[in-house]
Amino acid sequence: MKKWIRTFYENDVIRYLFFGGCTTLVNLVSFRLLRMAGISLNIANLISIILAVLFAYVVNSRFVFKDEVHTLTEHLRPFGKFIAARAFSMLVELGGVWLLVEKLHMPEMGGKLVTQVIVIVLNYLFSKFFVFTSGKHNSTGGESS
């Protein structure tokens, strides 16, 4: 069982899916709680996305792509790239939720879930090929050069 778990943990796609699921939970739970508190649809959506992005940077940097940066200065470049990529996917998510809920009259959580699938794929691709590409990380479980 340990070997099986280790094999899955050494794969960055599986780690991304696991922590992406955790990030999605942060997004969905905070969205639902904010809506239950009476916050408007778009403001609740924006706040939940921001919370999820902050959570995602920490887990992606540390656990998914195993970035080996330690100082605040070393984090600035990948964090800036991460924020830029997430800003784009946030626009996709905001537009997608608005389109699905407001224009196509899909239930709120359904529209939110549909856009999450698209956003998860986009965010993995951005993180893998744009954000954590400095050579100071280890995304395969082996030694980095």
**One digit per residue, pLDDT tens: the chain, 145 residues?**
777 777 777 777 888 888 888 988 999 999 999 999 999 999 998 899 889 889 998 888 888 887 777 777 877 888 899 999 988 988 998 999 999 999 999 999 899 899 988 988 888 888 888 888 754 444 444 333 3
Residue 126 resides in a domain? yes
**Cβ pair 87, 51 in contact under 8 A:** no
Residue 65 resides in a domain? yes
pTM strictly above 0.75:
no
Residue 138 resides in a domain? no
**Cβ pair 144, 137 in contact under 8 A:** yes
Token pair belonging to 135:
């050579």
Residue 145 resides in a domain? no
Residue 140 resides in a domain? no
Residue 139 resides in a domain? no
Among 91, 98, 83, 89, which Cα is nearest to 121's? 89
Question: What range defines the domain where residue 106 resides?
Answer: 2-131
* Count of domains for the chain: 1
- Rounded to whole angstroms, the Cα distance separating 90 from 87 reads 5
Residue 136 resides in a domain? no
Residue 141 resides in a domain? no
Q: Longest Cα pair distance anywhere in the chain, in angstroms?
A: 51
